[in-house]
Amino acid sequence: MNKFFITLRTQIKLSFRGMDMIIFAICMPVVMVVLLGIIYGVKPAYDGATYSFLEQSFGAISTIAICAGGVMGLPLVISDYRQKKILKRFQVTPSSPTLLLAAQVAIYMIYSIIALVLVYLVSALFFGVNLQGSLLPFLGSFLLVMLSMFSIGMLVGGLSPNMKTASILASVLYFPMLIFSGATLPYEVMPTSLQKIADVLPLTQGIKLLKATSLGLPVENVLFPLIIMVIIAIICGGISIRFFKWE
């Protein structure tokens, strides 16, 4: 797997030089957790809640990087590489363009995991967050949400005819999800009507799943979002594998 790691190393360097993901996937969630920490402190989520508002928001904030990488980073880099014929160049080598795609997926996974760790450290060290849920179901959900969001990004990047379309679609998906799915603006402070609209966004469901698993809420809360995440991953992933445009 040597060629994978060399490719990954180069692509990571390029991504760091680009700076966008450092800002949108690493800094932004940390800033968000600090802001919510300052605003809400250790206040309970609601009167009589066993967990604080910030603990409730933890699952949501941890998806900011997934959203940035999956829905913005991935489609842009794929359509960029296609437009520059980089994917095509890989077709006349003993390797294949999937190597490059795999490296890109790995990079955005790395960003998401770094963001998750940082958000956890900041919220635990500075704002006393102590999550009641168990680790494995949470990490499993985190992986599933990642898979699901990345498959949306693959679909957009893989099928957009050019960079311009990809970037419009990415913006249309990214900004509403970032703002209205609860990743930044907490779902709980939204009026009920807005919540109903937010529920349509796939990331909202992903966040519900992460909230439930991070807080250790009963299993019946997670079934619907769990199914939605799996369906999105299968449909978007399937379509993008079947119809991916290499050039």
Partner 1 sequence: MQSIIQVSGLRKSYGNLHIIDGIDLSVLKGEVFGLLGANGAGKSTTIECILGTRKADEGNISILGMSPQKERKKLFEQVGVQFQETSYPDKIRVDELCQETGCLYKNPANYKELLRQFGLAEKEKSFVSELSGGQKQRLFIILALIPNPQVVFLDELTTGLDTKARRSVWKSLKELKEKGLTIFLTSHFMDEVEELCDRIGIIKDGQFIFCGTVSEAIVESPYEKLEEAYLWFTGEEVADNE
Interface residues with partner 1 (CB under 8 A)?
A: 2-3, 6-7, 10, 13-14, 17-18, 80-81, 84-86, 88-95, 99, 247
Residue 92: CB minimum distance to partner 1, A? 4
CA-closest candidate to residue 97, choices 168, 154, 153: 154
Residue 151: CB minimum distance to partner 1, A? 23
Q: Which is nearer to partner 1, 81 or 244 (CB)?
A: 81
Residue 52: CB minimum distance to partner 1, A? 42
Q: Which is nearer to partner 1, 83 or 221 (CB)?
A: 83
Residue 100: CB minimum distance to partner 1, A? 9
CA-closest candidate to residue 157, choices 229, 80, 63, 100: 80
Q: Which is nearer to partner 1, 48 or 94 (CB)?
A: 94
Q: Which is nearer to partner 1, 120 or 246 (CB)?
A: 246
Q: Which is nearer to partner 1, 92 or 125 (CB)?
A: 92
Residue 94: CB minimum distance to partner 1, A? 5
Residue 28: CB minimum distance to partner 1, A? 22
Q: Which is nearer to partner 1, 86 or 234 (CB)?
A: 86
The per-residue DSSP string of 29-51 comes to HHHHHHHHHHHHTT-BSSTT-SS
54, two tokens: 């910030």
